[in-house]
Amino acid sequence: MKILYKIQFVLFAAVVLASCSKSFLDEDTSGFVSPGNTFVNTKGFDAGLTGLYAFARLEFQTFNNSIFSHGATPQEALQAGTDIVAVKTTGTDGTLAPFTNYTLNPALSYIRNYWRFAYGLIGNSNQILTALENPAISWTNPSEDPKIVRGTASFFRAYAYRYLVTLYGDVPWVDKISASPRTDFVRDPRASVIQMMINDFKVASENLPENPDQVADGKLTKWAALHYLAEAYLMVQKSDSAIWAANQVINAPYFKLNDQRFGVEKDLPGDYFHDMFIENNQNRKSGNRETIWAIQLEFNNLGGGDRYTDWSKRAWVPFYAQQTGFLLADSLGGRGLGQVRPYKWWLDSYEVNDVRNSKYNIKRDWYHNNPSSPLYGTRLALTNAIRESGNVFETTTKFFYGKTAVDPAFEGNMKDRVKARLAETYLLLAEAYVQKNNAGMAATALNPVRVRAQATPFAAVTADILLDERARELLGEEMRRMTLSRFGSAKFLERVRSLNDQSKGVIKDHQVLWPIPQEVIDANTGAPFAQNQGY
């Protein structure tokens, strides 16, 4: 969906977020545009779905947003303090420091805003699902329009709860719009909330379109719902159901692992893995058959991102312009700040011939590019001090994105952002077999990803082998905290304490979960709302 009409989004978001100043769970709609005047026909519901897609993009938002502003590195708050990256400790804005040194508290902006984001998306979804109960709606296509609306709203409600149950544990399940502000919410058990998520993803899979070639870029299909349904089943150890859902996607005729060059740079030096992360190669029309769902963030496009959306580049691309002998350049990824640095275990975990290990996918060698410097053209000798400064280090090229012709200091990573792709579906299938303690079948499920990468297939796969492979395949794409949490608290803590030099000595057992935002507890005066243990 490339065209999102801003006014529709603003009006729609206002309906649900009206009472955020009272409570992040309030859904009072009094005094705002009436849903009864909007959700009366297909056009009105289309505007509502436009609002849902636009709101969902706010998980990437940094600054300059009227609903909420996360800060510079919201996604990286879900990478810091795991097993995968070190955080730059000097010369940065400091917002990631509490997540790697585990000084988490209920007032931190990211902890507050992931709650706000999730319940805002839930509130928008509930508004639409409630409006669907009106029997007098005038549908342009009565056999399909209500199905798409129901499927989309159900998907986004479940998608939002993924964040809530992972980050905060037990949370209120809210599926209705309140006529007046509420202050009596209670925390529902995580397992029961996940079961509701499962129901929503099932409804979405039964109602969303099947053929991805017949929907606009960024629009959901049943396969995205089934992909996340497999993940939700894994969250509650329903491995057989997860196997079924993952296989539905894998065996669908619409998707394949990209193993041939495609897209805008297919005739230039590169490889097929790198092609997936080049601007304009995220959607199917580029020849990409691996993407299941991509959020539309395209640069300088109405309905795409603006310069304050998705600053992942600033995190993952080194701040090489601070290093003597370097100038900003698109070929080096544009203006990064080096806020997160992948750990060496990830870098060293690839086989030499693994495509994902190529020079196009991992930047290891840095050559001075300032013609005015006597170092021009020579290779920088990397030291640990340089790496730890954030100036230059080995890193993924997935977020290399420059716009120096527009603005040398352009902050954003304004490429469409793939949220689900087939390689991860295979990895979810392998995870289900790991849950069943079937290491051989886990290897069989995972090996198509290895074969595509030209890496040696596995004979058996354990949880740690799978987590290592997810890092090789999905570094920066997956939110690593979400993944480790799904593997359980013991594995989360074990990986952090063995692989993260910054966090291993400070993380406490209870910090697998984040604290509940304090303002949520304070606003819920009508019923006890316990803080998570240890905070």
The DSSP call for residue 187 is: P
Length of the chain: 535
Beta strand spans in 323-465 (E): 340-342, 362-363, 395-396, 417-421
- Specify the higher pLDDT residue, 441 or 38: 441
Segment among 30-34, 464-468, 485-489, 493-497 with least mean pLDDT: 30-34
**What gap in Å lies between CA 105 and CA 486, rounded to an integer?**
22
* Residue 234 vs residues 162, 237, 278: alpha-carbon distances, Å: 12, 5, 31
Task: Express each pLDDT in 311-329 by its tens digit.
Answer: 999 999 999 999 999 999 9
Residue 301: pLDDT band with limits 50, 70, 90: confident
* Phi, psi (degrees; rounded to nearest 5) at 466: -65, -45
Domains and CATH numbers, the chain: 1-78+100-204+508-535 (1.25.40.890)
Q: Which two tokens stand for residue 259?
A: 């193993």
- Mean pLDDT taken over the chain: 91
The pLDDT of 162-179, averaged and rounded, is 95
The pLDDT of 266-286, averaged and rounded, is 96
**What gap in Å lies between CA 261 and CA 400, rounded to an integer?**
19
In the chain, % of residues over pLDDT 70: 93
**What gap in Å lies between CA 15 and CA 5, rounded to an integer?**
16
Residue 18: pLDDT band with limits 50, 70, 90: very low
The DSSP call for residue 87 is: E
Which pLDDT value is given to residue 404?
76
Which pLDDT value is given to residue 12?
35
Q: ∠ at Cα 86 (80, 91), nearest 5°?
A: 95
The answer, yes or no, to whether residue 60 has pLDDT greater than 50, is yes
Segment among 380-384, 407-411, 447-451, 460-464 with least mean pLDDT: 407-411
The answer, yes or no, to whether residue 197 has pLDDT greater than 80, is yes
Task: Express each pLDDT in 246-263 by its tens digit.
Answer: 999 999 999 999 999 999
The pLDDT of 48-76, averaged and rounded, is 88
Q: Which residue has the tokens 């992931």?
A: 114
The answer, yes or no, to whether residue 170 has pLDDT greater than 50, is yes
Residue 25: pLDDT band with limits 50, 70, 90: low
* Residue 178 vs residues 44, 118, 149: alpha-carbon distances, Å: 21, 17, 21
The answer, yes or no, to whether residue 8 has pLDDT greater than 50, is no
Residue 69: pLDDT band with limits 50, 70, 90: confident
Task: Express each pLDDT in 117-146 by its tens digit.
Answer: 999 999 999 999 999 999 999 999 999 999
pTM: 0.93
Task: Express each pLDDT in 439-473 by its tens digit.
Answer: 999 999 999 999 999 999 999 999 999 999 999 99
The pLDDT of 300-318, averaged and rounded, is 85
- Specify the DSSP element, H or E, that contains 451: helix 439-452
The answer, yes or no, to whether residue 26 has pLDDT greater than 60, is no
Nearest one of 253, 137, 139, 121 to 200, comparing CA atoms:
121
First to last CA, the chain: 41
The answer, yes or no, to whether residue 203 has pLDDT greater than 90, is yes
Nearest one of 450, 471, 503 to 346, comparing CA atoms:
471
Residue 28: pLDDT band with limits 50, 70, 90: very low
The answer, yes or no, to whether residue 367 has pLDDT greater than 80, is yes
